Structure 1
Amino acid sequence: MPARRRKVATLTALGAAPLALTFLAAAPASAHGSMGDPVSRVSQCYAEGPESPKSDACKAAVAAGGTQALYDWNGIRIGDAAGQHQALIPDGKLCSANSEEFKGLDLARADWPATSVSSGSYTFKYRVTAPHEGTFKVYITKDGYDPSQPLAWSDLDLQHPVATATDPVASGGFYTFSGTLPQRSGKHLLYAVWQRSDSPEAFYSCSDVAFGGGGNGAGTTTGSTTGSTPAPSASAPTDEQVADGADKSTIEHHGHGDQDALTTTDPVVANEPKAAGSSGTSVQDLAETGGSSSTPYIAMGGAAALALGSAALFASVRRRGGR
């Protein structure tokens, strides 16, 4: 085999290694979701239908921010939060996490659909579209909260979260964990922060609740009334609704489509049917088994190994052919 050809074959084999490693390094991690019980604002409005919402609050949210935010319901996030939530999110923009796309969720209104609750133990359910390690913290607004005013950090009782859970078990597409709701009356808001421990990325959601409206503290969503302001019944989207709208999400498949230049942690489409790779493992399967983000990396690592093996084989054949 001529020296020139041997050199080309060697370079081909060696070049495949950094290419494969670059591919692996660029592969994004993915984790997304929103509070399912008590129903978050974005989930509620998505359940009503992005193109024709029923409640006045969701109609106003669409008028302010458009329908796309609802199709991207599981993407209210900050890629490089790293626990600096208050520094990155200004007052009045907590529900959108200071995202222009989700600004309709920040509207200060007393008529957001609410989940009826009572003080005492409560089982929280966070709908997750890709599981990851991390800590959930749920805060409640203080006595005297006025939903007709923009939500500020000072409105939340940050010293006494109503629920804290680290690495809860995922099952059926939800993280489920327990908390305790304090004595409150009337309309309030629960603010959930999911800070990943395997990434600086964090997710946020606002859930409107109504105390004294007949709720049993276990996630009922019957209608209620607070003072003279009616609180429409809240309801989470069904699995079918989530699946039906997935193709309209701008949060692309397999973690691609990140809009944040500061991070390589990209979103994953809501209820994406299949995880990365060809194993046929679904996102819900991962949620139910506690699978981690390493799954797609393992698959891609195998692909990289195959690429290296192919390059080596090519070089070997060329050498034998030249004899």
Structure 2
Amino acid sequence: MTFPQLSTAFEQRGPRRRRAAVVAALGFTPLALTGLAAGPAAAHGSMTDPVSRVSACYAEGPESPKSAACKAAVAVSGAQAFYDWNAVNMANAAGRSKEIIPDGRLCSGGNDKYKGLDLARADWPATKLSAGSHTFHYKGTAPHKGSFALYITKVGYDPSKPLKWSDLEATPFAEVTDPPMRGGDYVFEGKIPARSGRHLIYSIWQRSDSPEAFYTCSDVVFGKDSGTAGAPAPTASAPTEQEIADGAAKSTVQHHHGDATTGTRPSAAPVAGADAAGNNPQADGAAATPVGSTGTPGTQNLAETGGDSSTRYLALAGAGAIAIGAAALFATLRRKAVAGGRHGR
């Protein structure tokens, strides 16, 4: 119903019914505010230590990346995919990532939008690592309950070939459920197995409050990186908080509570030899230890769902529009009531 139609309908009512209707209209505003507060928010997260491919390329700048690998990835996926760096996901994974994501599509999570991340190259920007204990950081732009499972490539891994499930160790070397957040990051400890040369750490973040899962590929180097043609790959850098804030306006990703809207099914079925035994990403393995706990300064409990600062501005803008409309309606009806009272004298 349009505003003029609503006004006419109110005028056709008696004075008592008009007053009740005005109260009802004004009383709707808090309900509208509640609905808007539960609206969409920016999503969702990615590994930043060791930095993921998508995070590293976003940090370089989607419009003009610096490294050869990121330039190639942007040429394949387009710049927008990297502004949406925190949404490499599968909406309906439900713990079946190994079944539904084909070999060669692991880094994109089977999501066509991010297929540039699947490019088989030995010059992706990489993080230098050493075997042993490591503190992992996973930027969470929209927190969710769930579990993280981290896998590492096997000895003999060839980065110049498409990544397959069989290239990863069968069980994760680190796992953690509902880790605390600190400074906007999920932070937890894990023990990295011994390796040499270039390898890859693959993460699966499986939500427990939804079938949605998120994926990252982090290129890492143990010792010396021979690189391509003898030239080592650039060191990967994670996006800064300012870069994340600046890029938020260009992100097209939206998150709806209880419903993942950004994932797509892979266009190809899993290839022969892929793990179709229903192996759960949360399989037995060396457990990771959350850093911090409830009540520890600088930590934050994991929320069921979440958003960033843009959420409250969206809610306030919508609330403002409703409040203005209600005020205008109230003023119009008040003028009509006053005028009617004068004519009736």
TM-score, length basis structure 2? 0.67
Alpha-carbon contact 2:143-2:306 (below 8 Å) kept = no
Q: Is 2:56 aligned against 1:44? A: yes
**Which residue does 1:265 correspond to in 2?**
260
Letter in 2 for 1:265: A
**Which residue does 1:67 correspond to in 2?**
79
Separation in 2, partners of 1:172, 1:63: 33
Q: Is 2:174 aligned against 1:163? A: yes
Quickly say closer, same or farther: Cα 1:227–1:182, change in 2 above 3 A: farther
**Which residue does 1:114 correspond to in 2?**
126
Alpha-carbon contact 2:210-2:259 (below 8 Å) kept = no
Alpha-carbon contact 1:28-1:266 (below 8 Å) kept = no
Separation in 2, partners of 1:79, 1:122: 30
Deviation at 1:200, TM superposition (A): 1.0
Alpha-carbon contact 1:186-1:227 (below 8 Å) kept = no
Alpha-carbon contact 2:181-2:302 (below 8 Å) kept = no
Separation in 1, partners of 2:253, 2:301: 22
Deviation at 1:185, TM superposition (A): 0.8
**Which of residues 216, 240, 244 in structure 2 aligns to 1:242?**
244
Q: Is 2:157 aligned against 1:145? A: yes
Question: What does the per-residue CA deviation read over 1:83-140, in whole Å, with 9 as the maximum and x for residues that have no partner?
Answer: 1101221000100011111010000000001100111111110011021211000000
**Which residue does 1:212 correspond to in 2?**
223
**Which of residues 127, 131, 136 in structure 1 aligns to 2:148?**
136
Letter in 1 for 2:246: D
Q: Is 2:93 aligned against 1:81? A: yes
Deviation at 1:7, TM superposition (A): 11
**Which of residues 220, 232, 235 in structure 2 aligns to 1:233?**
235
Aligned alpha-carbon RMSD (Å): 4.1
**Which of residues 214, 223, 239 in structure 2 aligns to 1:203?**
214
Highest CA radius of gyration, 1 or 2?
2
**Which residue does 1:179 correspond to in 2?**
190
User: Tell me, what secondary structure is at the counterpart of 1:231?
Assistant: coil
Alpha-carbon contact 1:133-1:197 (below 8 Å) kept = yes
**Which residue does 2:46 correspond to in 1?**
34
**Which residue does 2:277 correspond to in 1?**
none
User: Tell me, what secondary structure is at the counterpart of 1:57?
Assistant: helix
User: Tell me, what secondary structure is at the counterpart of 1:101?
Assistant: helix
Question: What does the per-residue CA deviation read over 1:26-63, in whole Å, with 9 as the maximum and x for residues that have no partner?
Answer: 95687510000000000000111111111110010011
Quickly say closer, same or farther: Cα 1:64–1:30, change in 2 above 3 A: closer
User: Tell me, what secondary structure is at the counterpart of 2:46?
Assistant: strand
Separation in 1, partners of 2:132, 2:227: 19
Separation in 2, partners of 1:194, 1:29: 19
User: Tell me, what secondary structure is at the counterpart of 2:249?
Assistant: helix
Letter in 2 for 1:175: Y
Separation in 2, partners of 1:80, 1:227: 37
Separation in 2, partners of 1:153, 1:235: 26
**Segments ≥4 residues shifted beyond 4 Å:** 4-10, 26-31, 226-229
**Which residue does 1:188 correspond to in 2?**
199
% identity of equivalent residues:
59
Alpha-carbon contact 2:137-2:186 (below 8 Å) kept = yes
**Which residue does 2:10 correspond to in 1?**
none
Separation in 2, partners of 1:153, 1:28: 34
Alpha-carbon contact 1:32-1:128 (below 8 Å) kept = yes
User: Tell me, what secondary structure is at the counterpart of 1:192?
Assistant: strand
User: Tell me, what secondary structure is at the counterpart of 2:113?
Assistant: coil
User: Tell me, what secondary structure is at the counterpart of 2:166?
Assistant: helix
Alpha-carbon contact 2:43-2:86 (below 8 Å) kept = no
Q: Is 2:68 aligned against 1:56? A: yes
Q: How many residue pairs are counted as aligned between the two chains?
A: 277
Quickly say closer, same or farther: Cα 1:168–1:31, change in 2 above 3 A: farther
Alpha-carbon contact 1:186-1:226 (below 8 Å) kept = no
